[in-house]
Amino acid sequence: MKKVLITGASRGIGKATAKEFAKSGHHVIINSRNISELKKTADELGKINEHISYYPCDVSDYNEVKKMFDSIGSVDVLVNNAGTAYLGLFNTMTPSDLRKIIDLDLISVLNCTHIAIQSMINKKSGSIINVSSMWGICGASCEAVYSAAKGGINAFTKALGKELAPSGIRVNAVACGVIDTKMNDCLVPEEKAALEEDIPLGRMGRPEEIAKTICFLAGEESSYITGEVIKIDGGFI
């Protein structure tokens, strides 16, 4: 049984990933900010597997992340999933918008990884999976800062994969396409339909389809894969 921490796991991709790990009998710790939503998800997961815990905190704040790890202890698997989207022209964004997106979509990944690897290095084992986006590979208009953050995650994944390989720690990422979660609730049906027309597989992805790849990357079946960014986008890019 592995001890797995998944950030941003009260809903969406994080929750689907927590479910997948729970089904395999692992000890799953879920995180997000809204405690009542988080607890509700933990209760639901508890019906699959009794080894479910939750810890609310804002992962863009290093001190909060440090407190979380002081409380939960070391983990074998870290899934850096928490994130948010921002749709809008770059020139209309405020300095505070820029900071908020970079803090949550990039710095949170550095925060959690920085603390989690201290014990992984001692144990000479561990697996880190970062949830990124296809926009981090090719860039999206009106999502420039989000694209920059996700592109940063992709580069971080490749660099840290090399740095930590001698310590027996693997670092990989999934670059998601358009996935059917609350993050895309802002799209009206016509916008969703237009997007789906652009996707070669003709539909949005399901959170479960991302979860399965994340679990694969955490386990022995992927033991020779590190520093990799796997695109899961229905052929979009």
Is residue 8 close enough to count as binding ligand NAP by CB under 6 A? yes
**What is d(CA 10, CA 84) in angstroms, rounded to the nearest whole number?**
13
Helix, strand, coil abundance in the chain, percent, nearest 5: 50, 15, 30
**What is d(CA 200, CA 33) in angstroms, rounded to the nearest whole number?**
35
Judge whether 146 counts as a catalytic residue: yes
The residue from 54, 62, 146, 224 that is catalytic is: 146
Contact residue for ligand NAP among 84, 125, 154, 167 (CB under 6 A) = 84
Is residue 182 close enough to count as binding ligand NAP by CB under 6 A? yes
Residue type, 141: S
Q: How many residues bind ligand NAP (CB under 6 A)?
A: 30
Is residue 14 close enough to count as binding ligand NAP by CB under 6 A? yes
Alpha-carbon 208 to chain mean position: 13
Radius of gyration of the chain, Cα coordinates, nearest whole angstrom = 17
Is residue 183 close enough to count as binding ligand NAP by CB under 6 A? yes
Contact residue for ligand NAP among 59, 112, 129, 230 (CB under 6 A) = 59
Give the angle subtended at the CA of 179 by the CAs of 176 and 86, to the nearest 5°.
Answer: 80
Smallest distance from the beta carbon of 224 to ligand NAP, in angstroms?
25
Is residue 226 close enough to count as binding ligand NAP by CB under 6 A? no
Is residue 74 close enough to count as binding ligand NAP by CB under 6 A? no
Is residue 211 close enough to count as binding ligand NAP by CB under 6 A? no
Stretch that binds ligand NAP, among 31-39, 45-53, 112-120, 165-173 (CB under 6 A): 31-39
Residues 6+ apart with CB under 8 A from 50: none
Residue type, 221: E
Classify residue 129 by burial, with Cβ atoms within 10 Å: 0-12, 13-18, 19+: buried
Residue type, 195: L
Nearest CB to ligand NAP, comparing residues 150 and 170: 150
Give the residue numbers annotated as catalytic, written as ranges.
146
Q: Which residues bind ligand NAP (CB under 6 A)?
A: 7-14, 31-34, 37, 58-60, 81-84, 104, 131, 133, 176, 178-179, 181-184
